[in-house]
Amino acid sequence: MKSFVFLVLLVFLAVTAFISRSKTLNAFPSATPSPSPVLANVVVDYGKRYLDEDELWDTVNNWRKISGFNEFVKSDRLCNVASERIVEVQNDWSHDGFRGTASKIGREGEWIGENLSKHSNDDLLTLNAWLNSPSHKENLANKNFRSSCIKTDGVYAVQIFSNY
């Protein structure tokens, strides 16, 4: 049942991306990538050179909505943290720095989470990678996380989560 729901989700996201980007679909990609072939039900835009945080934010919230969760509310406080983390992960690709960041911003009783991604220029591929990682998916599907923010530098992506 879970794999069927996931397949329906991927098809929905691919159709949403297709409509919003007005690209044509090519079900049989050639050796040279065309502008938007369909690979495993995910639309990949090979012409795009950077990961757009607004597109990734919309894609994540669309996934939350069709999965039965409330959409995240964007938090300026978490956006500041995500902006700091982008700089940190450029120099140290790990979740280690987040422990210090979380201790600086955390409030009593606050749950905080983080998802990282690198070297993806597509919002759907980034979401797909997070959904295929149990710990990253746990953050995305956590009903207690209500606020969030995503920041990208075109190569790296950081999403911070909070229950406040």
Cα distances (angstroms) measured from residue 110 to each of 58, 120, 124, 142: 24, 30, 29, 13
Q: How confident is the model at residue 112 (pLDDT cuts 50, 70, 90)?
A: confident
Rounded CA separation 97/113 (Å): 12
Phi, psi (rounded to 5 degrees) for 159: -120, 125
Q: How confident is the model at residue 46 (pLDDT cuts 50, 70, 90)?
A: low
pLDDT given for residue 107 in this prediction: 67
pLDDT given for residue 134 in this prediction: 95
pTM of the model: 0.68
Q: What is the mean pLDDT of the chain?
A: 74
Residue from 142, 132, 156, 164 nearest 56 by CA: 156
